[in-house]
Structure formats: C-alpha cells, structure tokens
C-alpha cells in the first residue's frame, strides 16, 4: 500500500490529487478520477467520502468541508491479474473477499445533509453506449468518428465506471515517446498513460487519432496485434483487461474544411478497429438544455444549415450548455446568441442562418431574425 501524505479533492475536475512517497523517497503527485462504479461508493460520496484507485487498490478518503484535506479511512483490493473484464463488471458492485469493514470516525458535529438535485441524479447515456460497451467487453478496439464536443470522452468514462476499469486518456500524439515513455539521464523511466493501461489493465483512450503521426500508429497497431510491447524499460505483456479506444473527427480520410489538421489513416490502422459513427445525441442535448425543446430544435437546425451552406462552425453540447446557463443569469437573448452560439462570426455569415425549419414562434429563431441579423 502506498504511503499517502495528503489528499485533496478538486470538484471541477472530479479528481483526487495525492502526495505520495515514492520508492526513491521523493514526494510525487498522483491524480485519479473519483470512482462511481458501485452503489456503496456513490452513497459514501454524500458524506464527503471519496474513493480512487491506484495500482489495483481502492483508497477511501473522508474529506473536510473545504475538500482540502482527506483522511484515509479504508483500503480495498479491487483487481488482480486473474480477474477478467466480465468478472470485474459483475463483481464491481459486490463486496470482495479482501473487503475491509468500513468504520467511520466519530463525528463531534453533525454534517449538514447534502441536497442532490433531481437533475444531477439522472445519468444520460449516448445512443451508441451499449454498442461501444459491447465492443470493449469483447476486446474489440473501437474508433469513434464524430464531430467536436459530441461527448466521446465522457461516454468512455461512463463505460469505464460501469465495467470497473481504470480510464487512461491521451490526446493526439506528435512524438513517439509520449506513447512509449522514456528513460531520462538519471536512468529513471517515465511512464505514459498507454504504459499504465498496457501493464495494469484499463481503457486506453487515444483522442484525435487522426491528428497523430503515422509512426505512433504503427507502434499502436503492433501492440494491439501482438499483445506485447517493447517499452524503453523492457518488454511487457499486455494485461488481460487492456482495452483500446481511439477517436477522431474524420474517418481517416484526411483534412477537410472543418478539420484542417487531420491526416489520412492507412488501412492497416483502420482495419484494427470497429468504426462507430458518434454524433450528437438529442437525449443528451435535451438533458443539457433542461428539457428546453425550443433551444435544442434551434441548435439542430442551424447546425444543419451550416453543413449545407459550407460554413465552418461548431454547434456542440457546449453551445447548448452555455445558452442555458446564461439564460438563467437573465442576460438578453440577443447577447446570448452572439456570444454563445455565433461566437464572433461576421455579420454576412450570421445572415446565412435563418432557422427556417423551426417553429415560427420559436423565441431563438425570432431573436435571430429580428435582432441578431438586423444588427
């Protein structure tokens, strides 16, 4: 078990950052996403008790009201080399044979109950969720092809929680060492997210694969096919629960008007992956819009108009979320559309949008036609 000096919870990133004493006695920082894979863990979060996984061990911390200090109150063995992905999924919500009974410290003062809004309890899943999950469970590499801001990253985090697997993320790789790691002048090997997933098991997510250099993809192809890899610190066999998911804004066809920095992926790379189209999901859009169908209809309409008119513009989930928040802040709707939807577009470009397929009484369409375009 690691010697943890301090633990702090970051609500913005949903990560616990720990100060850990390493083998060389140096203090290093370890950041892990909070686990949510079992009912017990989710219930404990209501008491400010958060759980993370490091090297197959679950650590439970009881945080103070400011989340700036966490007291370690429990450890639990979560996985080992012999457990398969399917077994992890089935046992992730059950007590393990190594379970240590949780004894909460006596509290001198009563904590104020955490009030969770109903909207925060609902977990919305993308329409392709089950298809992606089935591929990952059956060890089929997946390539998600879809527009920016369509929720690829979050969907994979949801699946990792569901399957009880650690989630490792890397953006487009422009240098080989960012995948393989490297040994510095002092002889110390620097691990990468790919190395950790390959060795310890978990989902390795390579986002923007179509913006990564071909040399890196050749190495990834070899690792997927052979299930072993020659890292700078030696040859390692892939863990049974090592899974690969990649994503891109194109289907390996190279740059286009929207995504100018994309490369053509060779067929040897594409052949390794099950390719799944991952677009915007209306259920998620309705959730982000708090049920505001007028807003969702408007955004979907102008998104279609941008595609048909060849306009370089992205109207993603972030757009819907921004408008919803700014409306709650009671900003004028005209200003909201300018700063959160059309985002600095020239007047001539904005005039290309009419949202004509929306209902005539749609307030966003009316504001666009009567105020934004007329300005």
- In the chain, the percentage of residues whose pLDDT exceeds 90 is 43
What is the rounded average pLDDT of the residues 195-210? Answer: 91
Q: State both tokens at 333.
A: 């709707």
Distance in angstroms (rounded) separating the CA atoms of residues 79 and 56: 5
Nearest to 180 by CA among 212, 216, 213: 216
pLDDT confidence bin for 30, thresholds 50/70/90:
confident
Sequence-distant (≥ 6) Cβ neighbours of residue 256 within 8 angstroms: 250, 262
In this predicted structure, the answer to whether residue 201 has a pLDDT above a threshold of 90 is yes
Give all domains of the chain, ordered by start, each with its CATH number. Answer: 1-78 (no CATH), 129-277 (3.40.50.300), 282-372 (no CATH)
Q: What is the DSSP secondary structure assignment for residue 110, as one 8-state letter?
A: P
**pTM attached to this predicted model:** 0.63
pLDDT confidence bin for 244, thresholds 50/70/90:
very high
Nearest to 188 by CA among 1, 18, 26: 26
Q: Which has the higher per-residue pLDDT, 365 or 148?
A: 365
Least confidently predicted of 95-99, 118-122, 354-358, 366-370: 95-99
Q: State both tokens at 290.
A: 């708090």
Element spanning 51, H or E = strand 49-54
What is the rounded average pLDDT of the residues 363-367? Answer: 94
Q: What is the DSSP string of 333-365?
A: HHHHIIIIISTT--HHHHTT---TTS-TT-HHH
Distance in angstroms (rounded) separating the CA atoms of residues 126 and 290: 16
Q: What is the DSSP secondary structure assignment for residue 264, as one 8-state letter?
A: B
In this predicted structure, the answer to whether residue 314 has a pLDDT above a threshold of 90 is no
Asked if 224 and 172 count as a contact pair (C-beta separation under 8 A), the reply is no
In this predicted structure, the answer to whether residue 104 has a pLDDT above a threshold of 50 is no
What is the rounded average pLDDT of the residues 19-48? Answer: 84
What is the rounded average pLDDT of the residues 109-132? Answer: 66
Q: Which of 123-127, 169-173, 187-191 has the highest mean pLDDT?
A: 187-191
Least confidently predicted of 101-105, 165-169, 207-211: 101-105
Asked if 151 and 317 count as a contact pair (C-beta separation under 8 A), the reply is yes
Asked if 303 and 330 count as a contact pair (C-beta separation under 8 A), the reply is no
Measure the CA angle with vertex 7, ends 4 and 11; round to 5°: 155
In this predicted structure, the answer to whether residue 278 has a pLDDT above a threshold of 70 is yes
Distance in angstroms (rounded) separating the CA atoms of residues 302 and 300: 6
In this predicted structure, the answer to whether residue 55 has a pLDDT above a threshold of 70 is yes
């Amino acid at each position: 078990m690691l010697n943890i000096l301090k633990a702090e919870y970051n609500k913005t990133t949903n990560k616990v950052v720990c100060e850990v004493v390493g083998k060389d006695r140096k203090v290093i920082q370890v950041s892990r996403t909070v686990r949510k894979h079992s009912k017990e863990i989710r219930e404990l979060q209501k008491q400010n008790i958060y759980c993370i996984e490091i090297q197959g061990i679950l650590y439970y911390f009881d945080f103070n009201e400011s989340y700036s200090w966490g007291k370690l109150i429990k450890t639990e063995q979560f996985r080992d080399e012999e457990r398969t992905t399917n077994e992890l999924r089935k046992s992730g919500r059950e007590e393990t044979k190594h379970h240590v009974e949780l004894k909460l410290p006596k509290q001198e003062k009563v904590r104020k109950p955490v009030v969770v809004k109903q909207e925060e309890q609902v977990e919305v899943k993308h329409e392709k969720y089950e298809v992606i999950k089935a591929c990952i469970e059956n060890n089929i590499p997946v390539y998600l092809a879809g527009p920016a801001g369509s929720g690829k990253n979050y969907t994979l985090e949801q699946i990792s929680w569901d399957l009880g697997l650690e989630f490792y993320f890397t953006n487009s790789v422009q240098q080989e060492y960012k995948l393989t790691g490297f040994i510095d002048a002092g002889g110390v090997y620097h691990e990468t997210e790919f190395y950790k997933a390959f060795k310890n098991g978990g989902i390795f997510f390579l986002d923007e694969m179509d913006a990564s250099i071909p040399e890196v993809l050749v190495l990834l192809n070899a690792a997927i096919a052979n299930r072993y890899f020659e890292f700078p610190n030696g040859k390692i066999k892939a863990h049974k629960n090592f899974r690969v998911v990649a994503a891109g804004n194109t289907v390996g066809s190279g740059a286009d008007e929207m995504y100018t920095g994309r490369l053509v992926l060779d067929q040897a790379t594409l052949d390794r992956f099950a390719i799944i189209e991952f677009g915007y999901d209306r259920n998620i859009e309705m959730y982000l819009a708090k049920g505001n169908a007028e807003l969702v209809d408007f955004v979907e309409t102008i998104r279609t108009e941008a595609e048909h008119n060849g306009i370089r513009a992205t109207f993603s989930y972030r757009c819907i979320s921004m408008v919803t928040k700014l409306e709650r802040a009671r900003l004028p709707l005209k200003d909201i559309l300018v700063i959160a939807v059309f985002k600095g577009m020239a007047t001539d470009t904005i005039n290309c949008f009419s949202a004509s397929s929306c209902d005539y009484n749609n307030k966003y369409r009316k504001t666009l036609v009567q105020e934004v375009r007329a300005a």
